[in-house]
Structure 1
Amino acid sequence: MASQPTPPTTADLRRRTGDLAAFAGVQEVVLKNGREEGVRALILRNAVGLEIEVLIDRAFDLGGARFRGVPFGWRSGNGFRHPGLHESDAEDGLSWLRALDGLLVTGGLDHALFGGEYDATHYAYPPKQTVRHGLHGRLTAIPARLLRVEEDWQESGGTLRVVGEVIQATSFGEHLRLTRTIEIDMFGATVRVRDVVDNLGFEPTPHMFLYHLNIGYPFVDEGTVLVAPITEHIWASESTMQQGVTYDTLPAPVDGFVEQVWEHGLVAGTDGRHRVALHASDGARGIEVSWDAAAQPYFFEWQNLRAGQYAVGLEPSSTPVTGESAARENGSLTWLAHGESRSYDMTIQLLDGEQDVSASGARIRGIGGQPAGAAS
């Protein structure tokens, strides 16, 4: 692969246009029509063809995502529904599946994974002895408050940066805040997500946090492989024993495929980060994801390979797949005191061509191998 040309300087670009927005910038829009009517969004677009949508009114999550015109963020068919349409307690807690769409859907802030009924006496409100949570919590349907939009042009390159705040609160219950920063560089192929969750309330509050990062076609396709420094398969859904689909190599879409979920034990790199990647079968494209291993030590792989759905979810999590009940029982559940916080970050790197994919493989293999059956 030929070496990449040196990006022009900002001064070079200013001599060639009256508006730097011709090359990169942030645009605020309001989605119109149907289920998405009224949803505010930000479109971040840089000078090498990376474009992402930040859904302000859906917890500052990531919607559509493209690189040089090619989508990599999954679309489920649900659309980016207005939060007013969401019923978090409906369908026995599975209504979250009606909001599942786009590149990033975050689980939290006080609950993630499958739902249930849990003790709430720590909130000291006698009529509320328990609280019910649905799948992946309430965060998804809460609109954010837009705090900042920055187009930070430097002499060489620069950064597009947006910051939002989501408050999840109820009287006599949780009062948690998510402050999220999303960045892309003017000439880069990387998306950076940085999050801080803190407790604004005065009662100790459970906290769980999960990134549901959803990759779609053509970055997910027949022969795509998962590359990760895996020590063991800690847990797998029953469906993984019945369909003949391995964790590491994907088939073409399958009619009626039952979702498969794996929890993989990962080795962290010397930088304290976990790294996993999806590589296309021809080595021409891929995506590498990294995150702080201490903040989110657990990793799930979600294979939704059903025709008409077809996606892979890469899911760093603060809590193992056994969920809140087990974490309460064994004492591992995170509780935030008043003013206490937790920080998270995730980097999504687009791999453009054989050289990038090869370097990604070497980077991950340098940390550790993975169980037999994986691609070499």
Structure 2
Amino acid sequence: MRNAVEIFGQQLSRRELAERTGDLSAVAGIRSVVLDDGVERGVRALQLRTAAGLELEVLVDRAFDFGSARLRGVPFGWRSGNGFRHPGLHEHSDEGGLSWLRALDGLLVTGGLDHTLFGGEVDAQQYGYPPKQSVTHGLHGRLTAIPARLLEAREIVDPGTGDSVLRVVGEVVQATSFGEHLKLTRTVELDFTGREVRWNDTVENLGFERTPHMFLYHLNIGWPFVDEGTRLVAPIAKTLWSSDSVAEQRVSYRTLPAPQQGFVEQVFEHELVAGADGRHRVALVAADDSRGVEVSWSAEGMPHFFEWQNLRSGQYAVGLEPSTHHVDGDAAARENGSMIWLEHGERREYSTTVRVLDGEAETRASADAIRAVHGQPE
């Protein structure tokens, strides 16, 4: 912030801002809280707030995922009605492996670390424990119900430029005796005056057995950023797969209707074309171009992409889902050789950005840039 930046309608340097308040957290900062009621009781959270009005809740005890997210008080992160459920209430194998649906809430719910997509029983002989010949997975794995260890939460100031970011870092270990021993380290950053969320994930095998790795981001956008007429803009080469409900309901993947009573979720797997920077980029854009959300990520780390339409009344949302694997899932990945296997000390890196688009100029510029990479089917 060596050069003046706009804060609350004024052009101010960091020094000028400091002259006007004895505590910069009046403008932007990080607050650590503990949720204390209902199913959320006992969940640690970090509340990040920028001078541009971006607010993000990082749920320390829910795998360092993201809860509520707003820009100037307007929500863009989806709320399902589940609440940010304490992990102690979670039973991984409940409801035929679908208990993950009771934890699905907020802007980001991460799937992994050794399994994503639908559940099932897969071979576990690589762990060398005779009583454990196989392992049973539920929907999107075990990660969601594991609390993180908080490593860092502070403002970082570049001494040369005065530029400032809000940074939080956490690590989540998914481990069992005679099984996987994987660690996720997540670094989340927001610029002091910014309107985007950036995070970098590293997944490392701490164990000494060859271990499968699958990873998926369930990025959930809700009303009013999802509404009747909202459009998905994406550089789609082709749609590889769609759920049976698409043929039955025939709701477009491109343009959303209003909420529908009894809507059955629709899921698409789109093959995206990466930009010159090696990143995939998609956006949800309001019908009148007044607002939008753009998501970009490293195509090398997560080459696959799903669109989840949950347009049912009372649950109205769209999920944008970068993934390491095709929709076929765990067993198919093992069979066709696409499963990622990590040896001891091996790691995978992931880089993702969510940018809130504010006003017609930004929204149209984002859509035009995406379309310039590749068009999309009707």
Return the TM-score normalized by structure 1: 0.97
Q: In the alignment, is the contact (CA less than 8 A) between 1:7 and 1:187 conserved in 2? A: no
SS at match of 2:17: helix
Q: Where does residue 250 of structure 1 map in the other structure?
A: 256
Corresponding position: 1:175 with 2:181: yes
Corresponding position: 1:291 with 2:297: yes
Q: In the alignment, is the contact (CA less than 8 A) between 1:259 and 1:304 conserved in 2? A: yes
Which amino acid letter does the alignment assign opposite residue 248 of structure 1? R
Distance 2:207 2:163 in 1: 41
Q: Where does residue 131 of structure 1 map in the other structure?
A: 135
- Structure 1 residue 244, shift from structure 2 partner: 2.4
User: Could you give the per-residue CA deviations for residues 194-231 of structure 1, whole angstroms, max 9, x where no partner exists?
Assistant: 10000000000000000000000000000000000001
Which amino acid letter does the alignment assign opposite residue 78 of structure 1? N
Q: In the alignment, is the contact (CA less than 8 A) between 1:10 and 1:153 conserved in 2? A: no
Distance 2:169 2:262 in 1: 40
Distance 2:78 2:242 in 1: 23
**What is the 5 A alignment of 1:26-41?**
26-41=30-45
Corresponding position: 1:105 with 2:96: no
Q: Where does residue 342 of structure 1 map in the other structure?
A: 348
User: Could you give the per-residue CA deviations for residues 4-36 of structure 1, whole angstroms, max 9, x where no partner exists?
Assistant: 767521101110001001001000000011100
SS at match of 2:219: strand
Q: Where does residue 169 of structure 2 map in the other structure?
A: 163
Distance 2:255 2:44 in 1: 37
SS at match of 1:213: strand
Which amino acid letter does the alignment assign opposite residue 79 of structure 2? R
Aligned pair partner of 1:115 in 102, 108, 119: 119
Corresponding position: 1:304 with 2:310: yes
SS at match of 2:373: coil
User: Could you give the per-residue CA deviations for residues 59-84 of structure 1, whole angstroms, max 9, x where no partner exists?
Assistant: 00000000010000000000001000
How many matched pairs? 370
Corresponding position: 1:276 with 2:282: yes
Distance 2:10 2:371 in 1: 29
Q: CA RMSD in A?
A: 1.1
- Structure 1 residue 358, shift from structure 2 partner: 1.0
Distance 2:323 2:57 in 1: 23
Q: In the alignment, is the contact (CA less than 8 A) between 1:9 and 1:157 conserved in 2? A: no
Which amino acid letter does the alignment assign opposite residue 347 of structure 2? S
Which amino acid letter does the alignment assign opposite residue 117 of structure 1? E
Q: Where does residue 333 of structure 2 map in the other structure?
A: 327
Which amino acid letter does the alignment assign opposite residue 343 of structure 2? A
Which amino acid letter does the alignment assign opposite residue 220 of structure 1? V
Which amino acid letter does the alignment assign opposite residue 232 of structure 2? L
Aligned pair partner of 1:200 in 206, 215, 235: 206
SS at match of 1:241: helix
Corresponding position: 1:95 with 2:99: yes
Corresponding position: 1:357 with 2:343: no
User: Could you give the per-residue CA deviations for residues 144-183 of structure 1, whole angstroms, max 9, x where no partner exists?
Assistant: 0000112124554410000000000000000000000011
Distance 2:152 2:90 in 1: 27
Q: Where does residue 244 of structure 2 map in the other structure?
A: 238
Distance 1:6 1:37 in 2: 40
- Structure 1 residue 361, shift from structure 2 partner: 1.0
Corresponding position: 1:45 with 2:81: no
Structure 1: any 5+ residue segments left out of the alignment? none
SS at match of 2:39: helix
Distance 1:229 1:158 in 2: 33
**What is the 5 A alignment of 1:11-26?**
11-26=15-30
Q: In the alignment, is the contact (CA less than 8 A) between 1:50 and 1:189 conserved in 2? A: yes
Structure 2: any 5+ residue segments left out of the alignment? none
Q: Where does residue 270 of structure 2 map in the other structure?
A: 264
Distance 2:157 2:336 in 1: 49
Q: In the alignment, is the contact (CA less than 8 A) between 1:108 and 1:137 conserved in 2? A: yes
SS at match of 2:207: coil
Distance 1:133 1:251 in 2: 34
SS at match of 1:342: strand
Return the TM-score normalized by structure 2: 0.96
Distance 1:245 1:6 in 2: 45
- Structure 1 residue 279, shift from structure 2 partner: 0.3
Q: In the alignment, is the contact (CA less than 8 A) between 1:180 and 1:196 conserved in 2? A: yes
Corresponding position: 1:368 with 2:374: yes
Distance 1:207 1:8 in 2: 47
Aligned identity (percent) is 67
Which amino acid letter does the alignment assign opposite residue 40 of structure 1? R
User: Could you give the per-residue CA deviations for residues 288-347 of structure 1, whole angstroms, max 9, x where no partner exists?
Assistant: 000000110000000000000000000000000011111111111000000000000110
Q: In the alignment, is the contact (CA less than 8 A) between 1:300 and 1:315 conserved in 2? A: yes
**What is the 5 A alignment of 1:3-14?**
7-14=11-18
Q: In the alignment, is the contact (CA less than 8 A) between 1:8 and 1:156 conserved in 2? A: no
User: Could you give the per-residue CA deviations for residues 80-123 of structure 1, whole angstroms, max 9, x where no partner exists?
Assistant: 01000000011110000000000000000000000000000000
SS at match of 2:115: coil
Aligned pair partner of 1:76 in 52, 76, 80: 80
SS at match of 2:82: coil
SS at match of 2:249: coil
SS at match of 1:242: helix
Corresponding position: 1:224 with 2:230: yes
Which amino acid letter does the alignment assign opposite residue 296 of structure 2? S
